Amino acid sequence: MPSTENPTTLSPDDDEAPSNLIALLGGEPVLQALVERFYDLMELEPDYAALRAAHGALLTQARQKLFWFLSGWMGGPQYYIERFGHPRLRLRHMPFSIGILERDQWLACMDQAMGELQIDATLRARLRESFFQTADWMRNR
């Protein structure tokens, strides 16, 4: 259930974001473009080398899962939950070594992708804050 204390942020335990985020973003096509650019940057930019190394040889499955997850998290179709059940993000990421470096690279890569897609500045700031909360919570070292 989304946090009611501060409607501009989402806690890592929230199952989904307020229902208007995917619409504010521009719908599924913009979300798909954001996910694709995020992973393209991860492969292209040397600044994201540690993050890229943590993802294995192929990114096809990671691209699809992030799109499915973010769709539901932003209030759109619950593609991830329909396929895999509750996201259990921290549990599912425990096999991967996630420290401050990986957190910061993930956040920088996503922020760069949002900037390149010209996501509205207010929405970008809101997402950046929510992504930070979740990424920091995911750290396991």
Domain extents in the chain = 21-138
Which CATH number does the domain 21-138 belong to among 3.60.10.10, 3.10.450.50, 1.10.490.10, 1.10.3720.10?
1.10.490.10
pTM for this one? 0.84
What pLDDT does 13 receive?
42
The whole-number pLDDT of residue 5 equals: 33
**Nearest residue to 141 via CA among 91, 92, 102, 88:** 102
Which one, of 28, 67, 135, lies nearest residue 127 by Cα? Answer: 135
User: Which DSSP string do the residues of the chain spell out, in sequence order?
Assistant: ---SS-TT---TT-SS--TTHHHHHTSHHHHHHHHHHHHHHHHH-GGGHHHHHTT-S--HHHHHHHHHHHHHHTTS--HHHHHHSS--HHHHHTTS---HHHHHHHHHHHHHHHHHTT--HHHHHHHHHHHHHHHHHH---
- Using CA atoms, how far apart are residues 24 and 119, in angstroms rounded to an integer? 9
- Predicted local distance difference test score (pLDDT) of residue 121: 96
Q: pLDDT per position in the chain (141 positions), as tens?
A: 333 333 333 444 444 345 589 999 999 999 999 999 999 999 999 999 999 998 888 999 999 999 999 999 999 999 999 999 999 999 998 888 899 999 999 999 999 999 999 999 999 999 999 999 999 999 998
Do the Cβ atoms of 116 and 109 come closer than 8 Å? no
Predicted pLDDT of residue 69: 97
pLDDT in the model for residue 19:
57
The pLDDT value given to residue 21: 94
